[in-house]
Every structure is written in structure tokens, then in C-alpha cells.
Amino acid sequence: MTPGIFVTGTNTGVGKTLVAVALTHALAKEGYRVVGLKPVASGSDPDSTGRLRNPDALALQAASSVRLPYELVNPYCFEPGIAPHLAAEEAQQVIAVDDLVAWYGRATADADIAIVEGAGGWRVPLHPLGFLSDLPEQLGLNAVLVVGLTLGCLNHARLTFESIQHAGCAPFLGWIGNRVDPGFQRLEGNLHTLERLLGGPPLAIIPPLGPTAGPAEVAEFLAGPLTRAAVAPLLRAARPR
């Protein structure tokens, strides 16, 4: 099975797409055959032909060095911007974990490594049963947690970390702090607390970014010594071809 990194977050809107696209971009730039994937997405719009397309999935598709048709990048795409299991229920579409596992095999067949972006937080429900986290747990994908640095993040981060660790099936690769709230008070104190709660220092801290910042700029914050040390085992297993 192709090795992969599953990017999850403490909540929706914390920068999962930003991090996933930047990681995909950085690995592609280094010569790896990398594919960015979005298994389940809600909040999508029809294109000129009427087919639903999600902007996060399109960004991952564009950053990948392995070119895949959209339907393979994002197999479950829903229009309303609501919880994916509710969108799937409204569309009368079943999302089964076994089907997601089989999809991952097809989507990564020509890749050295995959970057898989989750939806919302770690334990997002599927329809009718299960959780999206069942996918990385069954595949043994390495989990990266994006922490939106704002009030309440300590509790959300620790609970997510405990859930990942409790199952013990998706190795915890580390966490990335994203300064989504420039006015977040006592930043340094909160970062020290997160280091204690999450078992180590962050892979990177993404500073407040302007509206025009793209994956190339964010990739700079994900290519430091800590990040390289964390992903080195995966990269050794995914040597460029």
C-alpha cells in the first residue's frame, strides 16, 4: 500500500487544505510522485458542465505531480456546505469505509506518497455508519494534526490527540500550529501547553498570512528540520522515480 499522510484538524476552517496543498506542493517540487486526495467534500459548486467540484479538492489536484481525473481525487462530492454525513444522506449516497479503502488503492497506484485531507475534525461521521478516521486507521496512514491557534484549541487538540492515540492504528506524525486568530492572547504560553499536551514541539507554526498567500509560501514553513525529521521514514519508503 502506498504510504500516506492524513491531514486532520481541531475543527473546520483551521487550515487543513492550506497544509495539505502545501505538503503536496513541497513533495512534488522535491521530485516525488505525490498525489493529493480529498475523499469526502461538501460545499461544492457545479462547473460549466453541471458536475460538482470542490475548491479544496481542485487545489489538491492542481498541486499533485500525479495527474488524476477529478472523480478519483474526490470520489464523494456534495453541494451543500453541511456535515458530510448529512449531505450524503440527503443525496441518498452511502459512504462505506471498505469502498474508501479500495478507492485509496486505485488513486495511489502510480504514486510514491499520498497526502489525504480529511473533512472537519478527526471523528467526522460517515453515512450511514462509521467515521472518516476509520480510513487512516485501516490503512495505517500517518496523522498530522492542524491546530487552529485560537481560544479553545487546547481542549480540541488534546481530545483529538487522545482519540488518535487510543486507537493506535494511525501513527501520530505531529502537529502544525496555524495562527488563524492574529489576536490570540498568550500565544507563547499556549504553544508551550500544546507541546506538553501533544507530546512534543510543532512541526511548524504558520504565521498570519495575507489573502494572496499560496502553497509555495506555506511550504516554506513545512520544510524545516522538524518536518523533515518527521516525514523522513515515509520519504525513504517513497524514493523519487
Query: Which residue of the set 16, 25, 33, 38 is catalytic?
Result: 38
Tell me whether residue 38 is one of the annotated catalytic residues: yes
Label residue 178 left, alpha or beta by phi (over 0 means left) and psi (-120 to 50 means alpha).
Answer: beta
* Cα within 13 Å of Cα(196), Cβ side: 8
Report whether 142 contacts 173 (CB < 8 A): yes
The closest alpha carbon to 148, from 73, 202, 88, belongs to: 202
The closest alpha carbon to 59, from 119, 109, 18, belongs to: 18
Instruction: State which amino acid sits at residue 119.
Output: A
State how far the Cα of 84 lies from the Cα of 79, in Å rounded to an integer.
Answer: 10
Nine cell digits for residue 200: 512534543
* Cα within 13 Å of Cα(193), Cβ side: 15
Active-site positions read 38
